[in-house]
Amino acid sequence: MTCRETVSSTVNNPSANGAWLAFALAVLLAAFQSSAAHAEEIVQPRIEEFQVDANPPMEDFSMLAGNWSVESRSVKDRLAPEKVWVRNRMQTEYRILLDGLVAINDTFGTFNGRPMHGIMIRTYDPTIDEWNFQWMSKGYPHLTPQVRGGFENGVGIFYGTEDHGGRTFQMRFRWKMISADHAFWEQSYLNPETGVWEPNWTLDLTRSQQGDAASRTTQ
C-alpha cells in the first residue's frame, strides 16, 4: 500500500480517525503535563518576623530531623529593579549525625522551573560555638563558600558572601521554628546603597510522612 493509499484509507475510516485523534490528544496532554510540572507560579513574597525569644526556640538543627515538604519562594532575577517572586515545590530529608555535630539535608524538587537535587552540609564547632554551611548540587558540583553563624534567643542567624551576576554580595541566612512541625528559612542580600537586608529566597517547611521521601525520583 502506498503512502497516498494509507492516508486515503485513514480519512475514509472513522475508526482509524478516532484512533489517530486519541493518539494526538494523548501526546498533547503529556506535553502539557510535563510543561506544567516545571511551570513557575508568580507569587507574593512570604514575610516572617524573626523576633527574639521565638517559641518554640531553635537552638540547633536537631528539631529538623526527618522529612519535610518545602514551598520555595524566590526572586527570579535578583539584579532586576522589579522583584518577581516565583514558587517551586521541593522535598527534603534532614539527618543529624555525630551526636548533633553534623546536620545534612538532601533536597529534591524544582527551582526556577527546572529539576534540582542538592545537599546542604552543616558542621558545628563547639569550641567556638559556630555552625558552618556549604551547599552542593548536581547543577553546581562544587562546595559553595562557607556561611557561618549560630543560634541566639531561639533564632538562627548566619552570614557569608555569594557571587551573583558578576557581583559579590553580603548574604544572610535566618532560621526559625514556627511550631514543632513547621519551620522557616530566609536568605537575604545586603543592599550596599541602603544598608538594608533584602530577602530574595524563602523556604517554608512542613513536616511530612516518612514515606514521602522514599517515593522521590533522583534528578
pLDDT tens digits along 97-137: 999 999 999 999 998 778 999 999 999 999 999 999 999 99
Q: Is 66 left (phi over 0), alpha (psi -120 to 50) or beta?
A: left
pLDDT at 22: 56
Provide the angle, in degrees to the nearest 10, between the axes of the packed helices 3-11 and 14-37: 90
pTM: 0.75
The DSSP letter of residue 79 is T
* C-beta of residue 63 within 8 angstroms of C-beta of residue 56: yes
Q: Is residue 144 within 8 Å of 167, Cβ to Cβ?
A: no
Whole-number Å distance between alpha carbons of 76 and 86: 6
Residue 33 — pLDDT band, cuts 50, 70, 90? very low
58 near 176, Cβ under 8 Å? yes
pLDDT at 208 over 50: yes
Task: Give the C-alpha separation, 210 to 217, whole Å.
Answer: 15
Choose the weakest-confidence range: 10-24, 28-42, 146-160.
28-42
Instruction: Please check the confidence at residue 209 and state whether its pLDDT lies above 90.
Output: no
Residue 17 has pLDDT above 70, yes or no: no
For residue 211, pLDDT over 50 is answered with: no
Percent of the chain topping pLDDT 90: 58
User: Within 13 Å of residue 126, how many CA atoms lie on the same side as its CB?
Assistant: 7
**Which pLDDT belongs to residue 219?**
37
The confidence band for 36, taking pLDDT boundaries of 50, 70 and 90, is: very low
Percentage with pLDDT > 70 across the chain: 74
- Beta-carbon-side half-sphere exposure of residue 40 (alpha carbons within 13 Å): 14
Q: Of 4-13, 14-23, 139-148, where does mean pLDDT reach its minimum?
A: 4-13
**Are residues 164 and 140 in contact, defined by beta-carbon separation less than 8 angstroms?**
no
pLDDT for 212 beyond 70: no
What amino acid occupies position 87?
A: R
The pLDDT of residue 13: 56
Q: Mean of the per-residue pLDDT values for the chain?
A: 81
pLDDT(51) > 90: no
